[in-house]
Structure 1
C-alpha cells in the first residue's frame, strides 16, 4: 500500500500533498456523499494530510493503548498558549474552560444555561445552517438579524432584533458566528464591543461559535469575543477542529463561567480527539502557517478564475475561514432555481446551496477553498460548463450530465 505523505512546516503547500486518486480513497462525507464523477467542493473538510505532530501524538497513544476517557487540562492549556501567541489574548483562564464533545453540542449546552424552552436565539443570516437546526430542536425560537449588504453585522438590525427578543420579558441569547460562516467576515474589535454593548443594554447573553478562529487571511487578526470590553459575560466555544481538519476526532472547549454546566457533558468528547487537538495547538503551528499561506493563494486564484470565466458571479474574498460565498443571482437562473442544483446536475460539481443559510442565502452557493489549485480550476471550469449558451443554466432537463 502506498504510504501517504505527512505534511510538516517545510511543506510549501499542504493542498498539493495528496492526489485526487488518493483523496477518493477517503470514506468521509465529502468523498462519499456523491458519485465519483462529481467533484466535491462543499462540506467543511480539507484536502490535506494530517499535520505530523498530530499523527505522532495519535500514533503514540494507540501504541500505548491510551484510548480511555479524557482527563486533565492539557487541551485548555494548549489553547491558552495558542491564543496568547496568535491573538495576543492572555485572558483565557484554564479554570473557566470545560471539554465538550464538539462546538455545536457545546453551543446547545451554553444556550441551555442562559435560555429556556420558548426563548429566542438571534442569528445573523446568511449563517451556518446547523444554527437553525440545533436551536429549533432544543425548542427555542430563531430570530434573524441579517447581515448588511457589506456582509458585516448590521448593528441597527441587531438592536431591533434584540428588542423584539426580550419584549415579552423572556430571556434571549445571541448566537454569534465569529469568524462568520459562510461569508468569511472577520469581526473587528469595535464591532464586537458594539455587540457586547447592545447585548448588555437588552439583557441578551452572547454565545460565540469561534471554531474558525485560527483560519485568517494574510494580515488579518482574529479578535476573541471574550477579550473585548463588555464581552466578559459572554460564552465561547473554540476548537482545533476546522484549522487542522479534525472533524472526525471530536473535542472542543467551552470558555465561560461554567459552574452550572452538568458534569455529564464532559463524558462525550473523544480522548483521542483531545490528544489530537492538543498536539495541533501546541506543535502544529508551522503546519498551520503553510496552510494559511496556501489559502491566501487559493482566494486570489478563485477571484481571478471567476473574473475570467464567470464574471457575473460576485465574490468578496473573506478575511477568514476556507469558505467562499458566491453570489450567483446575476446569472439569471430565475425564481425557484437553485444555482447549486444547476452546477451539480449540469457541471457535476458539488457546492453548498445558499438556501439553508437563511435570509440572504437564496441565489448563492458556498465553495470550499481547502483543496488544490488544480481542483479549484477544475471546479470553476465545470461551473462555467454548466451554463447553457445564453449563460442562464435554465435547461434543467435530462440527468444533468449533458
Structure 2
C-alpha cells in the first residue's frame, strides 16, 4: 500500500510591521500607505538554512571576495538540476557571475555584432529591451501568441525573423510575466528552427525552481543536440530563494562553442560574484528544498485567493493562472484605466503594480502583481482596486 506525499506546509509571510523595516527597493520606494506589489521580491522570511549559513558567515567576519573558482555553486546547481529535472549539467562548463542580467548582457556582447537583431517575445521582462541594447544589439519583437485562453511561443514568427536576419533568441523560460512554461516539444522545435538559421538561444531560467504543482519545467539545454550546441542558460537561486540583493548567478553551457566562449570570459566577470550570494545560493540548492516546496504551496494558495477576490470584487479584471512563479499578469482593460492601469492603481488605490506597457506593446491595459505575500495583502489590494474602479 502506498500513501500520497504529505502536502508541504505553506511558508508564511512576514507581518507588515516587520516588512516595513526592510530597506530594499520594494519597501523604500513608496510611502507606507502604499501596498508595494510591483517588483519581484518576496515577503517571506529567508529559508532557515540560508539564514543560518549567512549568520555563521557574518559571525566569522567572512565578508571578503568570493573564490569563484572553488565556490561549490556549480556543483550544487548540477546536483539540484539532476534531482529535480533529471538534468546533470557539467559544473566545469559553468561560470559564476553577479546576476542573470550579467549572464545575458555578457553573452550577447559575444554573440551579436553592433546593430544585429535579437528576438524577444513580449509581453516580456522589461530589462530584456535594455540588455539587448547595452550589448549593441537591436530588439526584434516576436510577441507571444494569445488565443484568448493561453499564451504560446510563435515558432513561425521566430522562424521568419531568423530568416530575415535576426541572430538569435533571448528566451524567457519560464516566461515573465505570463507564467508560460513551454513544453519539451515546443522547445525542441525552437532548437531546430534556431539551428537551421545558424543562430543562438540564450535561455533565462531564473524562475525555473518555482514551477507549480503538476507542471514540468524543461531546461533548454536538454531538448536536443542542436540546443546544446547553440544554447546558453542563465541560472540563479535569486528568485526561488529571494536572494536578489546578494548577487550570484551562473552561465551554464553544454556544447563546445558556447562552453569555450563562457570559460574564456574575463576573470572579472566571475570575480564580481557576491561571496554571500554564493553561500546563500549554494545553501538554497542543497539544503532548502523543504522551504521552497512550502513557498510554492503558499504561491499556489495565493493565486486561488486572488482568483476568488477578483471574481467577487473586480470581475472586470482578468487573470489567467500562471504555470510558474509568483507574478500575476492582470488584464485591466475593461476598467477603462487607459494604457497604463498601474499608474491609476497607484494614484487612486495606493496599490503599486508593475506597469504593463514596460513589457512591450502587448502589455497595454495590463499590470503585473507580485503575490509572494500574505493572503490578506492580496485581498486588501483587490478591495482597494475595486473601490477605485467605482
TM-score by length of 1: 0.90
- After TM superposition, give the deviation of residue 62 of structure 1 in Å: 1.6
1:28 aligned onto 2:24:
yes
- 2:162 maps to which residue? 162
1:165 aligns to what SS in structure 2? coil
Q: Could you list the runs of 5+ residues in structure 2 that have no partner in the other structure?
A: 1-5, 254-258
Q: Is the 8 A contact 2:123 2:362 kept in 1?
A: yes
1:248 aligns to what SS in structure 2? helix
Q: Is the 8 A contact 2:8 2:297 kept in 1?
A: no
1:127 aligns to what SS in structure 2? coil
Q: Once the two structures are superposed, what CA deviation does each residue of 1:76-103 show, in whole Å capped at 9, x if it has no partner?
A: 111011101111112x100100001110
CA distance 1:19–1:11, shift in 2 (3 Å) = farther
2:389 aligns to what SS in structure 1? coil
Q: Is the 8 A contact 1:143 1:165 kept in 2?
A: no
Q: Once the two structures are superposed, what CA deviation does each residue of 1:234-280 show, in whole Å capped at 9, x if it has no partner?
A: 00110000000001100001012123322221111111110110001
- 1:241 maps to which residue? 238
Q: Distance in 2 between matches of 1:382 and 1:165?
A: 48
The aligned length equals: 371
2:344 aligns to what SS in structure 1? helix
Q: Is the 8 A contact 1:73 1:94 kept in 2?
A: no
Q: Once the two structures are superposed, what CA deviation does each residue of 1:98-153 show, in whole Å capped at 9, x if it has no partner?
A: 00111001111111221122111110000000000121122210000000013210
Q: Distance in 2 between matches of 1:134 and 1:275?
A: 27
Q: Is the 8 A contact 2:112 2:136 kept in 1?
A: no
- 2:123 maps to which residue? 126
Q: Is the 8 A contact 2:342 2:355 kept in 1?
A: yes
1:215 aligned onto 2:249:
no
Give structure 1 regions of 4+ aligned residues with deviation exceeding 4 angstroms: none
Answer with 226-235 or 281-290: which moved more: 226-235
Q: Distance in 2 between matches of 1:116 and 1:363?
A: 35
1:103 aligned onto 2:107:
no
2:168 aligns to what SS in structure 1? strand
- After TM superposition, give the deviation of residue 165 of structure 1 in Å: 2.9
Q: Distance in 1 between matches of 2:295 and 2:23?
A: 23
- 1:5 maps to which residue? none
- 2:3 maps to which residue? none
- After TM superposition, give the deviation of residue 213 of structure 1 in Å: 0.6
- 1:348 maps to which residue? 350
Of 75, 78, 88, the residue aligned with 1:77 is 75
Q: Is the 8 A contact 1:113 1:260 kept in 2?
A: no
Q: Once the two structures are superposed, what CA deviation does each residue of 1:271-291 show, in whole Å capped at 9, x if it has no partner?
A: 111011000110000100100
- After TM superposition, give the deviation of residue 10 of structure 1 in Å: 11
Q: Distance in 1 between matches of 2:371 and 2:158?
A: 30
1:365 aligns to what SS in structure 2? strand
1:370 aligned onto 2:372:
yes
- 1:314 maps to which residue? 318
CA distance 1:47–1:11, shift in 2 (3 Å) = farther
Q: 1:331-342 alignment to 2 at 5 Å?
A: 331-334=335-338, 337-342=339-344
Name whichever structure is richer in helix by fraction. 2
Of 183, 197, 202, the residue aligned with 1:202 is 197
* RMSD, matched Cα: 1.5
Q: Distance in 2 between matches of 1:12 and 1:383?
A: 30
Q: Is the 8 A contact 1:102 1:250 kept in 2?
A: yes
Answer with 241-250 or 146-155: which moved more: 146-155
1:63 aligned onto 2:59:
yes
Q: Is the 8 A contact 2:316 2:334 kept in 1?
A: yes
CA distance 1:289–1:248, shift in 2 (3 Å) = same
1:231 aligned onto 2:227:
yes
Of 182, 191, 216, the residue aligned with 1:187 is 182
TM-score by length of 2: 0.92
